[in-house]
Structure 1
């Protein structure tokens, strides 16, 4: 996202925040339009498909509401204004080219009648789901499986390209040399928001949301492309009772906004010139310089990601929404468990709630009693493996997930081993501080080495590790 785009979104958030009435619909309409504005063009067999990817995002959110809506929030009278706002925003995007505004979007919009057909089909699907409300549990399960399968396909570039080429061949579509450049903006985040609402509806924990509230939650534009992953029950409290933009609110939003800009466009962009990448992995031959690239990447990814989070929190606050924090000084934590409690916290909390805790309960309740250490190994490694695959289905993310899963297991076992001796070793203030500092240094370097697995293809990793350890290079 460019600084111009961020400034435009900030102005939009400010205008919405100043509304005394209709703020929810302002957020809804703005979020729908921003989906289309930020969605990059998609080169798919020589055709522009960006409009339809953005439309698919919106369709998932709308269908998600029909699947999860409580009986008291399903009435047409209550939700027709939201539907009119959504349809109007999509039609506004489509007709922009007739007003000479097509350059606002990165793709060519389709003919108007195709967009009308899409909106009508979406409404009909939703109404059909309403008639099948008695089978909601089954539908939610199928929808959850469908989202996961779609996630797998999108996150596995080779699989996605194979499917698209096969489909094109089957229907006689010109593949333009077999080139596929596919980028579905925000799907990783909207998928997890939808899965959260599906599961919580099955468990009876999801609050009753109107169509406007649900779609705004799913595609809320400050957090759409880079998080954080908010929870529906917390988000809806803010949009029903938005925080007033008083002096404290202005100060908070302003501070987070300028801190985020500085992190992203000054620190992260400057560190990018030194940060480890595939070129440096081949060209750098000295241990000291290789460590410098690793350190630079560790701080670049932190400042880039946390900078975006600061900006999202600032924009949300302008509209009266307090988005959750995503980072809490992660590189200053004395062990790996505390690092993961302060790095991308909303993603970690999501996996803890919907995978780690259920798996732990299932293992404890199983008829075959497993040793405690084995349960810890299974739960931690599998959770971190999935977190790795969330970033992309590739071998480097598998290794990165295993690196952190095994590291968490070793740290857990070590902590249990030294617990009886800790009070004797740290019997004074300076020893406690020394042990804490040592833990911070060791944890940071373990995480930094893990970033090598994260950023590089698998075949480049052995050389980099060899140079870092002083056993390779010139």
Structure 2
């Protein structure tokens, strides 16, 4: 039997049972790390099973560890070798995304996208000199860490390693880990099993036609459904991580009060947007400035935003609506940059009514993007 992570009550019941020893260890000021490593293996097996998915996962781990350790041994600053390693690290994910087109049944298991980002991140940090030493079991634990296996958030290896190897006093654990973790876990349960479930019922009742009213209804309902579903998953993952002694980074922070799209991406899927910002956007901008082929910094930023968000769309899947969603978000960021630089915006930026209008307009830009992302428009073009 394969369980859906945070997706059913049986999983939550098992999660409660395996969390009890972690709580006891934390209160008694014992390191939770080794127990958590064991439970991670158990929960991974319960989530993906022991059939082909598990074999693919073992092959993925073996492949990535070879790449990480050989690149660490090289510690080269040769950019060509570095890029080859990045491509090789992403190869399982690339094959996974191409499987529907190649009609293959390879490299498929729950969480491959998030795991790939973790392994690529380590290679990049080795290249940048930010990772000075490797611990085999810490890396395996980081890649497989069960609370964030299938839904994120995406953590950073150095921060994660510091957390799992730090000493936590009983009072600190109770106040800054256990109590916060329980609150976040229950918040996620309410978001996922109450709000998202109710919204899904209403979505299911939308008439199956091509009317503008159905389109608008679906757009609003799907936007809120996706938020409560995904924010619910994330909150449960973060809460579980806290209970197991890890300060998993936040993933959502009231995204629908954003005044513009730049602010939105500091509030929505925060860990992913920061990952893309640090490892794609910033690196592209720095490389472009050094090459000096594009003279204006504004143009470099604009191209970087388009590249970053399009890549994010492709990461979600090789379907037209995911790619269109990425391009849409890139264009939205470029237009936002242009607009906030205008005299009109600067003149009215502190006006409350103007700010409310910004939130209203931004919300609808968000909603239309979610409509694209949902694939619902297929019925209009099909």
TM-score tier by shorter-chain length is 0.7 to 0.9
Aligned counterpart in structure 1 of residue 186 of structure 2, from 223, 236, 258 = 258
Q: TM-score scaled to structure 1, two decimals?
A: 0.71
How far did 1:240 drift? 1.0
> Per the alignment, in what secondary structure is the counterpart of residue 311 of structure 1?
helix
Distance 2:301 2:82 in 1: 30
Distance 2:311 2:361 in 1: 24
Instruction: Tell me the alpha carbon deviations over residues 24-75 of structure 1, each in whole angstroms, 9 at most, x when there is no partner.
Output: 221222212222221158xxxxxx5233123234434644553466xxxxxx
Q: Which residue of the partner structure matches residue 280 of structure 2?
A: 355
Residues 14 and 318, structure 1, Cα contact 8 Å, conserved in 2: no
Distance 1:286 1:363 in 2: 46
Residues 242 and 321, structure 1, Cα contact 8 Å, conserved in 2: no
How far did 1:309 drift? 1.1
Gaps of 5+ in 1: 42-47, 70-132, 165-179, 464-474
1:15 aligns with 2:21: yes
Q: CA 1:242/1:458 → structure 2, altered by over 3 Å: closer, same or farther?
A: farther
Q: Which residue of the partner structure matches residue 145 of structure 1?
A: 87
How far did 1:137 drift? 6.7
1:55 aligns with 2:64: no
Aligned counterpart in structure 1 of residue 42 of structure 2, from 33, 36, 49 = 33
1:460 aligns with 2:365: no
Q: Which residue of the partner structure matches residue 301 of structure 1?
A: 226
Residues 173 and 245, structure 2, Cα contact 8 Å, conserved in 1: yes
1:184 aligns with 2:109: yes
How far did 1:341 drift? 1.1
Task: Map 1:35-434; keep pairs closer than 5 Å.
Answer: 35-39=44-48, 48-60=51-63, 62-63=65-66, 66-67=69-70, 133-134=73-74, 141-161=83-103, 164=104, 183-243=108-168, 244-247=172-175, 249-275=177-203, 283-417=208-342, 420-422=343-345, 424-425=347-348, 432-434=351-353
Distance 2:93 2:56 in 1: 14
Residues 271 and 300, structure 1, Cα contact 8 Å, conserved in 2: yes
How far did 1:413 drift? 0.6
Residues 61 and 218, structure 1, Cα contact 8 Å, conserved in 2: no
> Per the alignment, in what secondary structure is the counterpart of residue 254 of structure 1?
helix
Distance 1:205 1:36 in 2: 32
Q: CA 1:28/1:249 → structure 2, altered by over 3 Å: closer, same or farther?
A: closer
Distance 1:287 1:63 in 2: 53
1:439 aligns with 2:358: yes
Distance 2:250 2:58 in 1: 29
How far did 1:394 drift? 1.5
Instruction: Tell me the alpha carbon deviations over residues 400-458 of structure 1, each in whole angstroms, 9 at most, x when there is no partner.
Output: 011111111111111112xx34454357xxxx221111111111111111112111166
Instruction: Tell me the alpha carbon deviations over residues 206-237 of structure 1, each in whole angstroms, 9 at most, x when there is no partner.
Output: 14232221111111110111111100111111
Q: CA 1:406/1:217 → structure 2, altered by over 3 Å: closer, same or farther?
A: same
Residues 349 and 355, structure 2, Cα contact 8 Å, conserved in 1: no
Residues 384 and 404, structure 1, Cα contact 8 Å, conserved in 2: yes
> Per the alignment, in what secondary structure is the counterpart of residue 225 of structure 1?
coil
Distance 1:68 1:28 in 2: 25
Gaps of 5+ in 2: none
Q: CA 1:149/1:443 → structure 2, altered by over 3 Å: closer, same or farther?
A: same
Q: What do you get for the CA RMSD once the two structures are aligned?
A: 2.6
CA radius of gyration, larger in: 1
Distance 1:422 1:451 in 2: 26
How far did 1:135 drift? 7.3
Count the aligned residue pairs: 368
